[in-house]
């Protein structure tokens, strides 16, 4: 390898380490800047060398993850697709060297997660299944292999949950949690994600007390992790707030929801496109808890902001935010009903039902109950 190429390789590796660190601590715009620099350096490399091919794929992967975290998911998917092509080229007769295989698992798992986040469920499940197949045998013996298998199971389980395959989603989520916990240095963020996903699955399955326990455990782990996981803590708090509200504990739900809203609003200036959807989801849940706790006037501002934000996001990326918009519309309808603004409530309630209906038709295991709840609100308003 020529001296100039070796220097560029070392510089790219250093930039990638820096970008990884920024992603791990939630500094997503900074990670994007560094990952863009790394990808530019990688683009100057002569990629015939297998080591250079691996570094080039790493650069595309990290850049793709950074783009996703700032709300540019489709651009991120393009970078991941480039990484897949590069990694497949490192093999001979269809067999990949182990470093390339592990990175390909990571890239495919990332693609699965990103596709699922914008409603591309067929692509998400196909990528997730391929990632798992690559690690099916032998059993993982290193922490790196355990982490990649755990993440692949977690992302695939999340996508199965999105299409209503609850039993398989729950099984994969638990297997991922055990793998994260078996690492020599347990992966606390991974365990917390597993517990949050477990809470969401159990909630849809109607197992509300068990969902609450999982949500509480996720929040406890996120708190112990410190400020580097503030966004993760906020998302876990949203889950916890929803569970508490469903179990008739609105005061505690309001407290958890308010903390989530405060964290996410503080992050909005740094990463508006990446965190606007999360803030809207938190606001909708917080509004529901405020209404159930009798604070209807306070609930209206949150419900309206959530609805307006999600309507805007759905106009630009319909498949990604339709279910969140449906929930926000239902919450806003109930708040307006409590304020005696029945005609407005009817209009928004009709919208909630209209958004849920195609979702429930396509994936009844995930959305049938939510559609029934939205229809109950509409029937009450029209009664």
Mean pLDDT of 361-366: 95
136: how many CB neighbours lie within 10 A of its CB? 8
With a cut of 70, say whether residue 47 has pLDDT above it.
no
Instruction: Say which range, 11-20, 27-36, 219-228, has the weakest mean pLDDT.
Output: 219-228
Q: How far apart are the first and last CA of the chain?
A: 77
DSSP 3-state of 136: coil
* Reported pTM: 0.90
Q: Provide φ and ψ at 329, rounded to 5°.
A: -65, -40
The per-residue pLDDT for 61 is 97
With a cut of 70, say whether residue 1 has pLDDT above it.
no
Mean pLDDT of the chain: 93
Q: Are 244 and 288 in contact (CB under 8 A)?
A: no
Q: How far apart are CA 123 and CA 111, in angstroms?
A: 8
In the chain the domains, ranked by start, together with CATH numbers, are: 248-383 (1.25.40.10)
Mean pLDDT of 195-222: 96
With a cut of 70, say whether residue 12 has pLDDT above it.
yes
Residue 317 C-beta-side C-alpha neighbours within 13 Å: 19
Higher pLDDT among residues 49 and 178, named by residue: 178
- For residue 246, which of 217, 280, 206 has the smallest C-alpha distance? 206
- Most distant pair of Cα atoms in the chain: their distance: 78
Reported as a pLDDT band with limits 50, 70 and 90, residue 325 is very high
Q: Are 142 and 164 in contact (CB under 8 A)?
A: no
Find where tokens 């038709």 sit: 361
Backbone region of residue 367 per phi and psi (left: phi > 0; alpha: psi in -120 to 50; beta: other values): alpha
What whole-number percentage of the chain has pLDDT above 70? Answer: 95
With a cut of 70, say whether residue 228 has pLDDT above it.
no
Higher pLDDT among residues 367 and 137, named by residue: 367
| Beta strands per DSSP E along 152-254 | none
- For residue 366, which of 178, 214, 165, 172 has the smallest C-alpha distance? 165
- For residue 331, which of 372, 383, 377 has the smallest C-alpha distance? 377
Q: What is the per-residue pLDDT across 96-127, written as a single tens digit (0 to 9) for each?
A: 667 888 899 999 999 999 999 999 999 999 99
Q: What angle do CA 267, 268, 270 make, to 5 degrees?
A: 70
With a cut of 90, say whether residue 44 has pLDDT above it.
no
- For residue 26, which of 261, 229, 256, 184 has the smallest C-alpha distance? 229
Reported as a pLDDT band with limits 50, 70 and 90, residue 145 is confident
From the number of C-beta atoms within 10 Å of its C-beta (0-12, 13-18, 19+), residue 12 rates as: buried
With a cut of 60, say whether residue 94 has pLDDT above it.
no
Reported as a pLDDT band with limits 50, 70 and 90, residue 71 is very high
The per-residue pLDDT for 2 is 64
Mean pLDDT of 184-206: 93
User: 74: which 2 tokens?
Assistant: 């489709």
Exposure string over 251-270, b if 16+ CB within 10 A, otherwise e: ebbbbbbbbbbebbeebeee
Angle of helix 143-162 versus helix 188-204 axis, rounded to 10: 20
Q: What is the per-residue pLDDT across 266-293, written as a single tens digit (0 to 9) for each?
A: 988 888 989 999 999 999 999 999 999 9
- Calculate the CA 67 to chain-centre distance: 14
With a cut of 70, say whether residue 355 has pLDDT above it.
yes
Mean pLDDT of 85-89: 89
With a cut of 80, say whether residue 222 has pLDDT above it.
yes
What whole-number percentage of the chain has pLDDT above 90? Answer: 78
With a cut of 80, say whether residue 24 has pLDDT above it.
yes
């Amino acid at each position: 390898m020529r001296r100039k190429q070796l220097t560029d390789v070392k510089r790219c590796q250093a930039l990638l380490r820096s970008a990884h660190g920024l992603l791990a601590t939630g500094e997503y715009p900074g990670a994007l800047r560094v990952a863009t620099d790394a990808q530019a350096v990688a683009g100057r490399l002569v990629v015939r060398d297998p080591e250079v091919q691996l570094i080039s794929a790493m650069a595309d992967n990290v850049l793709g993850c950074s783009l996703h975290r700032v709300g540019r998911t489709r651009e991120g998917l393009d970078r991941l697709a480039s990484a897949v092509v590069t990694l497949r080229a490192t093999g001979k007769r269809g067999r990949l060297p182990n470093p390339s295989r592990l990175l390909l698992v990571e890239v495919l798992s990332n693609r699965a997660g990103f596709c699922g986040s914008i409603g591309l469920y067929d692509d998400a499940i196909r990528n997730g299944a391929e990632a798992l197949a690559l690690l099916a045998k032998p059993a993982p013996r290193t922490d790196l292999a355990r982490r990649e298998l755990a993440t692949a199971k977690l992302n695939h389980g999340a996508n199965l949950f999105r299409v209503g395959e609850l039993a398989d989603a729950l099984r994969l989520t638990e297997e991922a949690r055990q793998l994260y916990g078996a690492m020599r240095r347990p992966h606390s963020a991974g365990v917390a994600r597993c517990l949050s996903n477990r809470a969401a699955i159990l909630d849809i399955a109607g197992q509300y007390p068990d969902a609450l326990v999982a949500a509480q455990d996720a929040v406890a782990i996120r708190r112990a992790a410190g400020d580097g996981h503030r966004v993760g803590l906020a998302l876990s708090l949203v889950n916890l707030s929803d569970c508490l509200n469903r179990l008739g504990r609105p005061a505690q739900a309001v407290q958890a929801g308010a903390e989530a809203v405060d964290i996410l609003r503080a992050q909005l200036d740094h990463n508006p496109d990446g965190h606007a959807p999360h803030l809207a989801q938190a606001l909708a849940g917080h509004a529901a808890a405020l209404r159930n706790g009798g604070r209807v006037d306070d609930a209206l501002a949150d419900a309206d902001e959530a609805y307006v934000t999600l309507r805007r996001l759905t106009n630009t990326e319909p498949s990604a935010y339709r279910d969140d918009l449906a929930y926000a519309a239902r919450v806003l309808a109930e708040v307006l009903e409590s304020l005696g603004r029945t005609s407005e409530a009817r209009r928004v309630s009709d919208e909630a039902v209209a958004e849920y209906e195609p979702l429930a038709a396509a994936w009844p295991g995930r959305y049938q109950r939510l559609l029934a709840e939205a229809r109950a609100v509409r029937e009450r308003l029209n009664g």
